[in-house]
Chain A
Amino acid sequence: MTAHDDDWLARALRTHEPRIEDRGFTQRVMAALPPAPAPRVVKEKDWIVLAGAATGSAIAASQFPLEPFLRVLVEAAQITWIGAALMLACMAGVLLAEPVRRAF
């Protein structure tokens, strides 16, 4: 079988396939389409829920001492800085290793 043999059938089918006339099909589809989804509007009820949640969070936060939490946060930040510095040092070492090896 050759590529030409393959072509004749596909060509014949595409040329000879009759077109189905629309005859109101598109109109029926358009009539049956659901309305386009409207952008969501934040309603008054939503604002009340949001305000309630914010007030509740603020009351809950006020019940806990803030100082120990901040201390832990600062310690964690320091640990992160040390880790980042070590990582950068390692990367610099890897990058510098090859030129140094060539130089000596």
Chain B
Amino acid sequence: MDASDEQLVARALGPDGRQAFGVLVERHQSALRATLRRFTHGNAALADDLAQETFIRAYRALAAFRGDSGFRTWLYRIGYRCFLSEVRRHEPPTEEVAEHHALTGDGAERRAFMEDYEAALGQLAPGQRDAVHLALQRGFSHPEIADIMGLPIGTVKTHVLRGRQKLQELLSDWQEGFDHDGT
């Protein structure tokens, strides 16, 4: 059985902890990089730099990780702060950059759905977009999103509810297919 994140954190704090931390990086890199690509409007190079910075900061602060929240929530909170620091340093890119060639999965339907989803997501306000992504794609709970984004829980609930409603309206053509497939 695979070790849990918390077990790996405990090992990473011991002697030869780098190997355990490497497992954590390997485990979370794909989802974290994808999330940061979403936040940076598809800027893969910037997102990867931010993801690397996130893991380095997490490693430095590992001893301070108390386990009050899950490791994943803690990691994403660091990632979101890295992203916000970047936004403060520079203007956010206004142009959406399509970065699908580095992704695996070639299904035409999958790509078409994700493209429609990207377009629909682009119609949401930035805070709403980030909260909806963390809820729907990463499966974080409302309190966890509030923790990651540093927002009141009521705001997060409103963001997720309204954002999801809008997405469902915009992507309603896809619903029947998914219901039929049961995917």
Question: Chain A interface (Cβ within 8 Å of chain B)?
Answer: 1, 5-6, 8-23, 25-26, 28-30, 32-34, 36-37
Q: How far is the CA of A18 from the CA of B113 in the complex (A)?
A: 11
Q: How far is the CA of A9 from the CA of B30 in the complex (A)?
A: 21
Q: How far is the CA of A14 from the CA of B51 in the complex (A)?
A: 20
Sorted from nearest, which 9 A-B pairs have the closest CB atoms? Answer: A18-B103, A18-B105, A20-B30, A10-B136, A16-B110, A26-B25, A29-B55, A8-B178, A12-B178
Cβ contact within 8 Å between B22 and A9 = no
Q: How far is the CA of A10 from the CA of B136 in the complex (A)?
A: 5
Main secondary structure of the interface of B (DSSP, over half): helix
Residue of chain A at shortest CB distance from B135: A10
Main secondary structure of the interface of A (DSSP, over half): helix
Cβ contact within 8 Å between B22 and A26 = yes
Give min CB distance, A37 to chain B, whole Å: 8
The interface size bin for chain B is: 35 or more
Cβ contact within 8 Å between B103 and A29 = no
Q: How far is the CA of A17 from the CA of B21 in the complex (A)?
A: 25
Query: Is B119 on the interface with A (CB-CB < 8 A)?
Result: no
Query: Which A residues are in CB contact (< 8 Å) with B105?
Result: 16, 18-19
Q: What 1/0 mask marks residues of chain B from 19 to 31 whose CB sits below 8 Å from any chain A CB?
A: 0011001100110
Query: Which A residues are in CB contact (< 8 Å) with B175?
Result: 5, 8-9
Query: Is B129 on the interface with A (CB-CB < 8 A)?
Result: no
24 intermolecular pairs with C-beta atoms under 8 Å apart: A1-B168, A9-B171, A10-B136, A10-B139, A11-B183, A12-B178, A13-B117, A16-B105, A18-B100, A18-B110, A19-B30, A19-B103, A20-B102, A21-B30, A21-B104, A22-B26, A23-B102, A25-B33, A26-B25, A26-B26, A30-B21, A32-B52, A33-B18, A34-B60
Cβ contact within 8 Å between B56 and A19 = no
Residue of chain A at shortest CB distance from B23: A26
Query: Which B residues are in CB contact (< 8 Å) with A1?
Result: 165, 168
Query: Which A residues are in CB contact (< 8 Å) with B74?
Result: none
Query: Which B residues are in CB contact (< 8 Å) with A20?
Result: 29-30, 33-34, 102-104
Cβ contact within 8 Å between B183 and A9 = no
Query: Is B91 on the interface with A (CB-CB < 8 A)?
Result: no
Q: How far is the CA of A82 from the CA of B37 in the complex (A)?
A: 69
Residue of chain A at shortest CB distance from B138: A14
Give min CB distance, A32 to chain B, whole Å: 6
